[in-house]
Amino acid sequence: MPRTFALLSLMLLISCGFGGRSETPSTAETRAKFGFSSDIVEICDAPGVLGVRIDPVGRGSSNASCGFNDAVRVYAVGGVALNPPARMQCRTARITSAWMSEAVLPTFRDARRDLDSMRVAADYSCRTRNSRRGARISEHAKGTAIDISAFRMADGETLTVLGDWRNNNGGFMKRVFRASCRIWHTSIGPDGDRFHQDHFHFDATRDRGPNTWCR
Ligand SMILES: [Zn+2]
C-alpha cells in the first residue's frame, strides 16, 4: 500500500511537473477566481468561453454596415479574463476559444508564464478601418475583431505591446503574435503599420481562412 501511494505521488508529480496547467479550468474555478456571478456561463458551444448572451449589437446605428446578431459579451477564455469583457459574434467566440487553447496558452506555458488576464483595447466599434475617412468598414463594426494591448500574469507581471515589443521581452511577444496568426484571418502588430504600435489586432472575416494577413 505505501508503495502504491508512493507510485501515485510520483505519477502526480510527473504529470504536474511536465504538464503544467494543461487542463482548462472549470467554469466554477474561473468564476471563483475572478469573482464572476453565476449568470456568466459557457456560451456559443465554445469550450472554455465564459460570458453572457446580449441583444444584437449596433442595430439602428446610422451606418447600416455596422452591428451584428448572435451577440455575446465574453468575460474569460480558457481561464484567462478579458479586461474589459468583449462583445463579439458567437462565431468569433469559437475562434477566440481556439486561439487561447492552441496559440496563446501553449506559448505562455512554454515560457513558464502563468497568464491571468488580457487587456482588451477595442471590441465592437462602428467605424472604418483605422478610423480613416473613406476607408472600408472595420471588422470591429461586425463583431469579428478584438484588439489586445497587454497580458497580465498571475504574479502581477504585465507585458504591454507598446512597452515590450521592442525590449528584451520582444522575442516572446513576437512568438505570441505569430502563434496567433495561425488562428485568425488577419493579425496586425507593431511591425504592421503605424496604427498598431500599442496593440495586436485580430479578426476573422467570414469568407477566408486563418493566417491570410500576419504582420
Ligand atoms: Zn483592431
Residue 211 is predicted with a pLDDT of 77
What's the CA gap between 61 and 165, in Å, rounded?
A: 36
Residue 106 is predicted with a pLDDT of 98
Average pLDDT over all residues of the chain: 90
Assign 178 a pLDDT band (cuts: 50, 70, 90). Answer: very high
pLDDT at 54 over 80: yes
Report CA-CA distances (Å) from 48 to 6, 45, 206. 34, 9, 22
More confident site: 8 or 60: 60
From the CA of 139, how far away is ligand 1's center (Å)? 8
From the CA of 187, how far away is ligand 1's center (Å)? 9
Residue 31 is predicted with a pLDDT of 97
Type of residue numbered 66: C
The pTM of the full predicted model, rounded to 2 decimals, is: 0.88
- How much of the chain, in percent, has pLDDT values that exceed 70? 88
Residue 64 is predicted with a pLDDT of 85
**Joined grid coordinates for residue 35:** 469573482
What's the CA gap between 169 and 210, in Å, rounded?
A: 26
From the CA of 92, how far away is ligand 1's center (Å)? 14
Number of neighbouring beta carbons within 10 Å of residue 163: 14
Report CA-CA distances (Å) from 116 to 50, 75, 108, 122. 15, 12, 10, 19
From the CA of 52, how far away is ligand 1's center (Å)? 22
What's the CA gap between 141 and 168, in Å, rounded?
A: 35
Q: What is the dihedral of CA 161, 165, 166, 167, to 10 degrees?
A: 90
**Joined grid coordinates for residue 188:** 496586425
From the CA of 79, how far away is ligand 1's center (Å)? 23
